[in-house]
Amino acid sequence: MGTILVTGGAGYIGSHVARQLAERGERIVTLDNLSTGFRSAVLHGDFVQGDTGDAALVARVLAEHGVDTVMHFAAHIVVPESVTNPLKYYRNNTANTRTLLECSVAAGVRHFVFSSTAAVYGIPAGGAASEDTPALPINPYGWSKLMSERMLADVAAASPLRYAALRYFNVAGADPGGRIGQSTPEATHLIKVACQHLTGRRDRVEIFGTDYETPDGTCVRDYIHVEDLAAAHLCALDYLRSGEPSTTLNCGYGRGFSVREVLDQVARVAGRPLTIVESPRRAGDPPRLVASAERIRERLGWQPRHQDIAGIVRSALAWEQRLLRQPAA
């Protein structure tokens, strides 16, 4: 087997996938510019600091390490920022992916696993999205990823490269071994924010919108444990290695929790109430976004093991407490 290039391997999801790959004996090299990632999150393999848009560097890394598989996580991910600074997103998430793909094809890379997002669906009718639901993003972040999916499909049609595009729903939780987790101090994601509140980094949690047409008026999402998400990448790799065709798959559990339900879980896990403030809706939030999650199980044989929402919260909280003692570097 060739080496696996993990771009963005110093980031939240990339570092969990890299860890699982190394734990099962894969050879990996991480490429990360450390703009939002942390060197300390790279636990295994070689590390190269640099940009996926640096064609000369990427070509050298692919050649020197004998890379036959690319797992591409490096990206900007803050939806509101993508609205105010779209070109930042189209450069890093789309143009740099184009460069990475060009270098990959030139180097004979055979497999490409791509971090995509449920944001490609925009506001799906009924709030559930299957892979056949039309993709119609409602923000530049979603478009920047969908354009990369399109490039992948076109490149795969014109070259031997095959890919798996994985559309992530709401990722949370951390490494059960306590070594890595979501370390971004300015994170905006609900479970992370609630855990930061519990450890004293924030004095309250805001609920963005309580007047949605959902059972309790708050938005509903499909929260997936990062360990299960990472495992899906290893399944995707095995799938591609066994010669199966390119595929696009949702990564979620197929069940939703409202913001209030999540915050109730957080309070229960912590054993104390949270300070909650009800605020206006946040721009660009679909009321309900839940995966139709059958296809990934059928195609990849993926079997999630961490669906319990309380367990997801416990794991995120444990990491937040660890960050308090030892900030990420």
The answer to whether 199 contacts ligand UDP (rule: CB under 6 A) is: no
CA atoms of 101 and 195, how far apart (whole Å): 37
Taking each helix axis from N to C end, the angle separating 259-270 and 190-198, rounded to the nearest 10 degrees, works out to 30
Q: Which two tokens stand for residue 11?
A: 């980031």
The answer to whether 207 contacts ligand UDP (rule: CB under 6 A) is: yes
By beta-carbon proximity to ligand UDP, the closer residue of 5 and 207 is: 207
Considering only 111, 145, 189, 225, the residue that binds ligand UDP (CB under 6 A) is 189
> Which segment (1-9, 45-53, 187-195, 228-236) binds ligand UDP by CB under 6 A?
187-195
**Out of 141, 163, 168, 239, which one is annotated catalytic?**
141
Q: How far is the CB of 52 from ligand UDP (least distance, A)?
A: 22
Find the binding residues for ligand UDP in span 97-126 (CB under 6 A): none
Asked if residues 145 and 198 have their Cβ atoms less than 8 Å apart, the reply is: no
By beta-carbon proximity to ligand UDP, the closer residue of 58 and 135 is: 135
One DSSP character per residue, 39-74 reads GGG--SSEEEE--TT-HHHHHHHHHHHTEEEEEE--
Instruction: For residue 74, give the nearest of 11, 16, 151, 139 by alpha carbon.
Output: 11
Q: Could you give the strand order of the β-sheet that contains 3-7, starting from the edge strand earlier in sequence? A: 46-49, 28-32, 3-7, 67-72, 111-117, 162-168, 247-251
Q: How far is the CB of 61 from ligand UDP (least distance, A)?
A: 30
Asked if residues 191 and 317 have their Cβ atoms less than 8 Å apart, the reply is: no
The answer to whether 285 contacts ligand UDP (rule: CB under 6 A) is: yes
User: Pattern 50-79, binding to ligand UDP, x per CB under 6 A?
Assistant: -----------------------------x
Provide the 10 A C-beta neighbour count for residue 56: 9
Considering only 219, 231, 266, 291, the residue that binds ligand UDP (CB under 6 A) is 219
Question: Closest residue (Cβ) to ligand UDP?
Answer: 219
> What's the Cα-to-Cα distance from 73 to each of 37, 152, 233, 322, rounded to whole Å?
11, 14, 11, 24
> Which segment (17-25, 142-150, 185-193, 247-255) binds ligand UDP by CB under 6 A?
185-193
Q: Which two tokens stand for residue 21?
A: 């790959």
Check residue 133 and report its DSSP letter.
S
Strand partners, 248: 165
> Which segment (36-44, 63-71, 183-191, 230-238) binds ligand UDP by CB under 6 A?
183-191
Q: Where are the alpha helices (DSSP H) in the chain?
A: 12-23, 55-65, 79-84, 86-89, 96-106, 140-158, 190-198, 226-241, 259-270, 294-300, 309-325
The answer to whether 170 contacts ligand UDP (rule: CB under 6 A) is: yes
By beta-carbon proximity to ligand UDP, the closer residue of 170 and 265 is: 170
User: Pattern 243-262, binding to ligand UDP, x per CB under 6 A?
Assistant: ----------------x---
Q: How far is the CB of 30 from ligand UDP (least distance, A)?
A: 25
> Which segment (143-151, 176-184, 188-196, 264-272) binds ligand UDP by CB under 6 A?
188-196
Q: Is 141 a catalytic residue?
A: yes
Q: Which residues are catalytically annotated?
A: 141
Give the binding site for ligand UDP (CB under 6 A).
Answer: 79, 170, 188-190, 193, 205-208, 219, 221, 259, 282, 285
